[in-house]
Amino acid sequence: MKALDDRSAGSFSAGPRAWLMAEAAGSRRQARLGRWYAAWLVFRRNPLAVTGLAIVCGLIVVALVAPWLAGHSPIEQNLQARLLPPGGGHWLGTDALGRDIFARLVHGARITLLIVALVAAIAAPVGLIMGCSAGYFGGWVDAVLMRITDVFLAFPRLILALAFVAALGPGIENAILAIAITAWPPYARIARAETITIRTSGFIQAARLQGASASRILVGHVVPLTSSSVIVRVTLDMAGVILTAAGLGFLGLGAQPPVAEWGAMIAAGRQFMLDQWWVAAAPGLAILVVSLGFNLLGDGLRDVLDPKHG
């Protein structure tokens, strides 16, 4: 067969790069890793996206090593050392109760990461399942699922979160739940739109003709194609999630004292804004940088995963 191409499968000994770039992979795993590597090469060319990735990775690292990085306890009070300016033993100074702001900031990264991770882990799958099912089955399934989506979409996020927290009591878990419940409808809409465009394509028809069940088609064929748009959207939404969480914290409805949470820290610092600006500025800056990081990362991911919307 002259169409045969026997370029080598690229042995690993020739270096991981050659293995990843091999024209003809030797296994499904190698093919998949090769695809990701190719995407990484595209992603790497965008300096802003790499900056965003670095910020998000930095957040994760800081959250992981917080106890060792902090130097001080985030909750231990020292009323003799109230509102110290940055410098000396306290890099970023101390707050009204004499707690080290840097230590609280570093521990606050854990809370922020927890919120982001849990919201993504709840909202994205719910949105994907609702949207893909609605788009694939159409008809009354679509009508019912999308009306439910519309109901949730109609709630203003912060107000619903407030109502939720008011009903269930303040606390970080309830705040996360409230944010997740308002976050999924846009993902469902994206997933549904994408599903409708691929529902009639040849490979879905072929899968039906092979006798594949609806759940197999949804999970194995539809979700892998719709998930990249949703991942991009989730990443871009994370900035908003962080801000909402901080807003709830600021209003005293999120994480409860003495837990270090950035929004609550700003709230506590606002009384001293003019004289001891660093108390509110440090967590404010942290929120700004992390939000920016997620936005940059999301933009970069969109270019790689979803070039048609670029």
Partner 1 sequence: MIRVESLSVSFGRVQAVREVPFHVAPGEAFGLVGESGSGKSTVLGAIAGLIQDWSGTISVAGQPQGRRRDKAFHKRLQMVFQDPYGALHPRHVVDRIVGEPAAIHGLDEVGARVEKALGEVGLGPAFRYRYPHQLSGGQRQRVAIARALILEPEILLLDEPTSALDVSVQAEVLNLLARLRAERGLTYILVSHDLAVIAHMCDRLAVMRDGRVVEEMGVEELRAGAPREAYTRRLLAASRGYDRAAAEGFESTT
Contacts to partner 1 by CB under 8 A: 1, 3-7, 9, 23-28, 30-32, 35, 201-203, 205-212, 216, 220-221, 224-225
**What are the residues facing 87 on neighbouring strands?**
90
Q: Which of 24, 20, 21 is nearest to 9 (CA)?
A: 24
Angle (deg, nearest 10), helices 223-250 and 157-168: 70
CB of 10 to partner 1, least distance (A): 11
Q: For residue 140, give both structure tokens.
A: 């009354």
Distance CA 255, CA 249 (A): 6
Measured CA to CA, the distance from residue 65 to residue 78 in angstroms comes to 24
CB environment 252-271: b (16+ within 10 A), e (fewer): ebbbeeebbbbbbbbbbbee
Which residues face 100 on adjacent strands?
Answer: 94
The least CB distance from residue 197 to partner 1, in Å, is 11
Q: Which of 53, 94, 52 is nearest to 71 (CA)?
A: 94
Smallest gap from Cβ 131 to partner 1, in A, equals 18
Nearer to partner 1, 172 or 301 (CB): 301
Yes or no: say if 220 and 193 are a contact pair by the CB < 8 Å rule: no
In the complex with partner 1, the residue whose CB is nearer, 11 or 205, is 205
Name the residue nearer to partner 1 (CB basis): 161 or 305: 305
Q: How far is the CB of 73 from partner 1 (least distance, A)?
A: 48
Dihedral angle, C-alpha 244, 246, 249, 253, nearest 10 °: 0
